[in-house]
Structure 1
């Protein structure tokens, strides 16, 4: 071998050289560190449509929560002035001056439809976020226990079979009729059994995952059930939980709007209440903005929340992090 190398004019040491061996260096992993949430947001923001939708959501949230802080809204501020009632946007600007308050016209009491929509949105969105937080928290916890414990499974199956067959809208309507139709009454009505469907779905996912080989191996090695649930199962269902939130939050706004539209909603000035009170203006020429403004805003809010949640749920799936 040495003679062959010398024949071609190549010293032996250039091809073969001794190296130092280090046990510490051999244990080092050269692969880049993986950050789950960094990968989630990298995948999410890779799509430009998500940036646009997120910007729209930011504008909606800003108008919903920040705009009312700087504006004093009085529903009956122009009640005594008959010339300010039911004005179209152009007529309102001509009558009351060029101002952001009048770009959607005025209502039955001469109030600003633009201001009313954002004050109502604050109540509706707050209701949706609170109900979603309660139902998702209770549903995930109960569903995880339900999926792991066979004794709990037997009991909860009977509870689910009974309560799941009661129409959800009917149950909410009864709760609203029994108590004063306020904000917290609506929260109670939407959460008293709203977590049950989420818990059943989580239970099904836990049953699918809990008996996989790596979980059985962890259990055989003495790992506690709680640790298996927290380390092996719940992180796997992050995308599922985010997707659930994407469907739950808009649904509560829809429930509130529907119940208010049929006269069984909150007494507070929510989007549903605005739609209910302006129903008579729907078919009156020149008054349509009073009705369609809260309808359009409620639709945009629910669609944007749903799309953002769905796309974030897709990005939360580790299989998209390639």
Structure 2
């Protein structure tokens, strides 16, 4: 009896569903054709559109970098220091870095004046020159040398490194050049340049860049060899993509992180070389202040307690700039690495 009632109930529900569907079909049949269907339309722009991700390499890189609060704070401080070094001589009340100040009353030079006395913010040296003005002038000189060395190494080194790694026929030529340059110590090159030519900013840049570009080229070459024959590069060559496009679109973007790290290390290395060559007495003349000159002068009086400020202040600026470039370069290199970009 119970099964009979269930079958009857199921049959009633099925009849009601069929009646509803029949009524719906009847309603559709009575409607005009233009109301039954709505044309979707055609747009040529939409037909050519393809699905794509909203991923941006540089956007992802900067987002990853700005998450590192320490690196961002260090970058801001470095920008302030570098900017101040270049605008300092244009500020009012700044002394000439080469001027030997003389006491108008006694006619004697302001020798070894302690910081904060007689208008000398960071004191004076043994001939009355303002250390505040000389340190910032020295920072400008050293930074100028470092920036130009890094620029030359980047342009020449990256170009040569790409050719060395991608064009197989040039491997022998560049390898022999590398063997020649690599066996000559950097100090010897700087010393020879200083003897042959008059020491100047551009002489220092030339001496440092002579060896630096081949090291950058070797570094880039090794990276190119790793990714040169990957599937997407082979596919690009097979479909006839120009070599320059493969290099610019497939190879160099992959190497941004290592290139940025290498350039960030080049700047403090160039400053260190300038300090070294000045330390051995072959650097810039005293009329051209540099951090190397100032550190060398401060070294001579470091054993006198009252004169150690002449070594302290240039060393602080030198240490901050070199360490900041190194840490910021590492942070940006990590941020630029595509492996660290999460979708």
Q: Check whether TM > 0.5.
A: yes
Contact 2:162 2:221 in 1 (8 A): yes
Contact 2:97 2:137 in 1 (8 A): no
Q: Which residue of 2 aligns with 1:287?
A: 307
Q: Which residue of 2 aligns with 1:233?
A: 251
Q: Which residue of 2 aligns with 1:314?
A: 334
Structure 2 residue runs of 5 or longer lacking an equivalent are 1-12, 25-36
Q: Distance in 1 between matches of 2:14 and 2:53?
A: 43
- Call closer, same or farther: CA 1:3–1:320 in 2, change over 3 Å: farther
Whether 1:164 and 2:169 are equivalent positions in the alignment is: no
Q: Which residue of 2 aligns with 1:152?
A: 170
Contact 2:135 2:314 in 1 (8 A): yes
Q: CA deviation at 1:84?
A: 2.4
Q: CA deviation at 1:20?
A: 7.7
- Partner secondary structure for residue 204 of structure 2: helix
TM-score when normalising by structure 1 = 0.87
Q: CA deviation at 1:278?
A: 3.0
Q: Distance in 2 between matches of 1:31 and 1:149?
A: 33
Q: CA deviation at 1:188?
A: 0.9
Q: Distance in 1 between matches of 2:141 and 2:327?
A: 21
Contact 2:228 2:251 in 1 (8 A): yes
Q: Which residue of 2 aligns with 1:15?
A: none
Q: Distance in 2 between matches of 1:3 and 1:55?
A: 76
Q: Which residue of 2 aligns with 1:56?
A: 77
The 5 Å alignment of 1:1-322 reads: 3=14, 33-70=54-91, 71-79=94-102, 81-82=107-108, 84-89=110-115, 92-93=116-117, 96-97=118-119, 102-267=120-285, 268-322=288-342
Q: Judge which range, 205-214 or 270-279, deviates more.
A: 270-279
Q: CA deviation at 1:6?
A: 5.5
Contact 1:87 1:286 in 2 (8 A): no
Q: Distance in 2 between matches of 1:206 and 1:74?
A: 47
Contact 2:68 2:331 in 1 (8 A): no
How many residue pairs end up in the alignment?
A: 309
Contact 2:97 2:134 in 1 (8 A): no
Contact 1:136 1:198 in 2 (8 A): yes
